[in-house]
A and B are shown apart, each in its own frame.
Chain A
Amino acid sequence: MTRPYGFDELLSAWLDEGPEVAPRDLFEAVLVAIPVRRRRRPLGALGKRLRVLPTPVRLAAGIAAAIAVGVVAFSIAGYRGTSLIGGASPTPTPTPSASPVAPSSAPSVSPSPTSRITGTVQIADGSVLKAGARYTPTSFTPAFTFVGQDGWTLKGSDSSSAAFWVGSDINHGLFMVERPAQVIEVGGAVAPVPTNLVAWLQARSDLVLSKPTKVTVGGFAGQLLDGTVRAGAQVNGGNAINIACFAGPPCTPDSSFGLGFAADNHFQLVVVSVRGQTLLVDMTANVAAWDAVRPHLEAFLTGFAFPLPAGG
């Protein structure tokens, strides 16, 4: 293999490949938290204390903080060139709450004149959703729309995946739509997406799945499997099982570009074929959060539609 770079140059080039810009919600989260932080407290102890605060307390603190820092946010919005406070409305965003029913003063995202689907809001990664608004991810194919819920954020999307979740921890509630490019067998072998994805899922020895039930997603017939990770299943370095990859770098059991479950997840998978393309919908939360999050996940699913894009 010919290497045009020496090792140090290779390492530097690889390190250069990461993001250079912080997510917009990070800046907002810091701003929101500043007023509720006293000074000269031991960082570790205070950090831990905040992490274990009951959700309602964090939520109340977040709302109070959001109001308090509004002036601060306004005054420095010009510092970073583009508005940090979001789209059409310069309203500060509270720190995302772990609660799936978090009330939100999130910025509204203006309908984009270039939205693929007329009458919907085309959203980019990092956009905080508002209840009742209908959204379209920028590039996912086939294009879909869905109805937002307060406190949820579109964390990442591309042409073959879109994921949104609530709070800062993926296990508090994740809704993900993926057009799988490959699957990962038990044991780690990578394989093409099987024709009968439901049967393939049912055959996995590392998942405990219900029998499939028929569902409709955006008018297309699909099958839903309810499940958990089997106790003692072989997990990867992240204590998770990856089962499918979307387009991206090499697909491996440790791949960072796929769909999988942590050992303590409860999930529902929906396999649906939309105009000849197989989609995998993943609704996941950890077992403890599942009952509270499930209605919200199902509401996302219910609100799906797959209209044909303008000109398409």
Chain B
Amino acid sequence: MDRAGTEMDRQLVVQARDGNRNAFASLVAGSIDRCYALAYRILRDPELAHDAVQVAMLGAWEDLPDLRDLDRFDPWLSRLVVNACYGEARRERRWTAKLHMISPDLPTLPDSAIAFADRDELERAFRRLPPEQRAVVVLHHYRGLPLTEVATTLGIPAGTARSRLHNATRQLRAAIEADARTASRTNGQSA
């Protein structure tokens, strides 16, 4: 973002903090896609992500007067989204496995990039992770944040972020490798 854009956003934050709903709505408009993308990847569920972002945005409106560093609006909002995801993930989820739609904007990666089996294994293994680990994985591997920034965003020690990422990666990798071994054994039997 250029400097003028940053200054404009800062002014919007100031105005929103002072109770200007138009300014806050503009901030929402500028950030809601990023927030939804983050929430979806943590929760792997469009409806839960929808609810999490709604909770986070309304929380942002309520808590904005408490934001001290106005230049940290984005990381602050990301933390609210992550915290809302924690809440949604722990809600009763009796319906979540029932129906989800294929997102219409899935990129068309070549099959060789991510095999169906890998995708399925990753999905299942990722869903088994606690939300705190998922958040670290997403902020690091999707948002591209270094671990120190992940820790700052989440408000946790860097060592905690590192261990969460390590544990999550270990479980995800194990799931993929187990799948590969199974496939290899199957191929060997059928050969």
Contacts and interface: CB of A to CB of B under 8 A. Distances in A.
A1 B117 CA distance: 11
B158 to A, nearest CB: 19
B29 A170 contact: no
B1 interface: no
Contact of A16 (B64, B107, B172): B107
Nearest to B96: A238
Interface string B115-129: 110111011100100
A254 B97 contact: yes
Interface in B19-73: 19, 21-22, 24-26, 28-30, 32-33, 35-37, 40-41, 44-47, 50-51, 53-55, 57-59, 61-66
B138 A15 contact: yes
B184 A20 contact: no
A257 B103 contact: no
Contact of A33 (B58, B66, B105): B58
B67 to A, nearest CB: 12
B141 A43 contact: no
The range of chain B's interface size is: 35 or more
A1 B35 CA distance: 36
A176 interface: yes
B57 to A, nearest CB: 4
The range of chain A's interface size is 35 or more
B3 interface: no
Interface string A28-63: 011101110111110110110000000000000000
Contact of B106 (A17, A69, A240, A258): A17
Interface string A214-248: 00000000000000000000001111101000001
Given A11-B137, A34-B24, A79-B26, A26 B54 contact: yes
Interface string A1-36: 101110110111111111111110011011101110
Contacts of B63: 39-40, 43
6 contacts: A34-B25, A39-B65, A79-B29, A242-B97, A249-B119, A256-B123
Given A39-B63, A249-B116, A256-B123, 19 more contacts: A1-B115, A1-B184, A10-B118, A12-B141, A18-B106, A20-B105, A22-B32, A27-B32, A34-B24, A46-B62, A72-B21, A73-B25, A75-B22, A76-B25, A76-B29, A169-B47, A236-B97, A239-B97, A256-B97
